[in-house]
Amino acid sequence: MAWSDILGHESAKRFLQTHLATGAVPNAYLFAGPDGVGKRRLALEMAKALNCDAPGARPCDHCPSCARFGRGAHPDLHLLSPSGASNQIKMEDIRMLLGRVALRPFSAPVQVAILDGTDRLTEEAANSLLKVLEEPSVHTKFLLMTSRLSFCLPTIVSRCQLVRCSALPAEVMTRLLIQQHGCDASVAGPVSQLAGGSLARAADLAGRWRAYGQVCARLADTGMGSWLEQPLPETRESVAHLLEAMLSWLRDVTVAAVEPSHVAHAAHAEALRRQAAVTNVERCVDAALELHALRESLDQFVSPRLVAALAREKWLSLTSV
């Protein structure tokens, strides 16, 4: 994989390539942007470039070092991400990582530690990482990632060179869905409009496109019948999908109130226009905030059935007035 293989992120790629060309590479980078937009691919490409053996533009993608980094099998590449029921990076995880990078590189000029989910560090783990960032080693580079920059420890952010990764354009995602995921063009186009610039989200949505269409049909129906006649989802994943669909739909209701031609659910433009005509935008925003809080509660082991029931109650109260 070369820089040109990473679609989008032109500013971020130029920024990193300039650092490589001038040799002014900081001790740590923080790649910040939405989930599924390619932060990890950028970090892996940078890790490869930092240890490329070839002269000139890096990475060359041909030398032994590039090949090993490309496979994720280099002994001087260390990957860390949240784990466990709490989905956090704990102190023991950081202690193990720091123990590895405290040693000299095995065969590369520098060791590279890629940490995905900087916002998921426990307080103790974050403070331990901060100490290393404050006293950097010339033999180690840290490439951190986050989709929630405001949740990261401010002192960690201040020790890193920030690399902002924007949402991918819809046309880029459409192309990637067709070429890399074998998605039909009739699905790839609409999905790309709904995924918020995240290829990971788009691929997931494409895989359950029929089910998503059924949820949208229910959201388009302002009557109570379909909600009361059909059972609510019961698994954590299916309830999360319902809440995400509700939030996406509410966004389109508010958009339809201003510029109907810009709605993402183009197939339901008329239903959205009708709902926007009778629904107060401020109430939509309030409902979206409450639905978002319900979505967050799913990660705190609240009963999925309870969350689904509360979401239905909120939706009916919004659409019945």
| 261-288 pLDDT, tens digit each | 899 999 999 999 999 998 888 889 999 9
Cα separation, 163 vs 148, in Å, equals 13
* Contact of 115 with 144, CB cutoff 8 Å: yes
3-state secondary structure of 224: coil
Domain coordinates in residue numbering, the chain: 3-164, 208-319
Predicted confidence (pLDDT) at residue 77 exceeds the cutoff of 80 = yes
No. of H helices and E strands in the chain?
A: 15, 5
Mark residue 184 as left, alpha or beta (left: phi above 0; alpha: psi -120 to 50; beta: remaining): beta
Q: Which of 230, 216, 251, 233 is nearest to 298 (CA)?
A: 233
CATH 3.40.50.300 fits 3-164, yes or no: yes
pLDDT digits (tens, 9 = 90+) for 194-250: 999 999 999 999 999 999 999 999 899 877 777 877 888 989 999 999 999 999 999
> What is the pLDDT at residue 273?
93
What are the backbone dihedrals phi and psi of residue 228, each rounded to the nearest 5 degrees, phi first? -85, -25
pLDDT digits (tens, 9 = 90+) for 146-156: 999 999 999 99
Rg value, the chain, Cα:
23
Cα separation, 133 vs 27, in Å, equals 7
Predicted confidence (pLDDT) at residue 320 exceeds the cutoff of 70 = no
The pTM (predicted TM-score) of the whole model is 0.84
